Amino acid sequence: MSTAVPAAEPEAAPYVRLLGEPAITLASGRLSFLRDRRYLLLAYLAYHRDWVPRERLARLFWPAHERGDARLNVRQLLRRTRRLWWRPEIEASEH
């Protein structure tokens, strides 16, 4: 008689709520978005659900900065966002 090992439950995909109080629901619970550019970036990307050019992010978040400075800020923002304790997955091209 063989013993069947139950299949592991697939982890629920994160759910992002944008209306009302922005939040993300993870397997570990609900997390409200802070008033911080990292969370604004996540909300913007979740809303678009497609590739967003870095130039657009640069103009949106740093409209008064020079192009090169704004693009550097985008790279730093992406890096800081990926370092949130719950490690959001952000897929980005090199440039």
The residue that leads in pLDDT, 83 or 89, is 83
Across 21-65, the runs of DSSP E, i.e. the strands, are: 23-26, 29-32
pLDDT of residue 13: 79
User: Tens digit of pLDDT for each residue in 58-87?
Assistant: 999 999 999 999 999 999 999 999 998 888
Tell the residue number behind the tokens 């970036």, with chain if given: 41
pLDDT at 9: 60
- Compute CA distances 54 → 23, 28, 40, 43, whole Å: 24, 31, 15, 15
Q: So what's the pLDDT on residue 63?
A: 97
What is the Cα–Cα distance from 28 to 26, expressed in whole angstroms? 5
Distances (CA, A) of 87 to 56, 64, 78: 23, 30, 12
Cβ-proximal residues to 56 (8 Å cutoff; 6+ apart), any chain: none
The rounded distance, in Å, linking the Cα atoms of 13 and 20 is 21
pLDDT in tens, 1-43: 555 655 556 667 788 899 999 999 988 899 899 999 999 999 9
